[in-house]
Amino acid sequence: KAGVTQTPRYLIKTRGQQVTLSCSPISGHRSVSWYQQTPGQGLQFLFEYFSETQRNKGNFPGRFSGRQFSNSRSEMNVSTLELGDSALYLCASSFNRGGNTGELFFGEGSRLTVL
């Protein structure tokens, strides 16, 4: 069974640009969550999608958005990039709503560098 796939794995952008990251969950998983990982702030919850609906959102500005498609694949978008957005963005999937009802399976992440 294929794991969580995130694309692209690495990308470099400049301030003010926008970026879209993609996540393909494990087949059959209906919930997708996104986390931002930085050395200073650690792992921080961005948002969770289940059945194409955003169910929960973390404490991030509106520049961070996401969506989930009918096949459970998810994308997140960051507009007007800032230097502080440089981070590893992790996608996680689970069969039900993850975090407390079951295991979260993480992808290897998309490493974003903002110059």
Partner 1 sequence: QQQVKQSPQSLIVQKGGISIINCAYENTAFDYFPWYQQFPGKGPALLIAIRPDVSEKKEGRFTISFNKSAKQFSLHIMDSQPGDSATYFCAASMSNTGKLIFGQGTTLQVKP
Residue ranges in contact with partner 1 by CB under 8 A: 4, 31, 33, 35, 42-45, 48, 50, 55-56, 58, 90, 92, 97-101, 103-109
56 vs 80, beta carbon nearer partner 1: 56
Q: Position of tokens 């301030």?
A: 15
Residue 33: its H or E element: strand 31-38
Q: Nearest distance from residue 25's CB to partner 1, in Å?
A: 13
8 vs 16, beta carbon nearer partner 1: 8
> By C-alpha distance, which of 91, 59, 95, 99 is closest to 74?
91
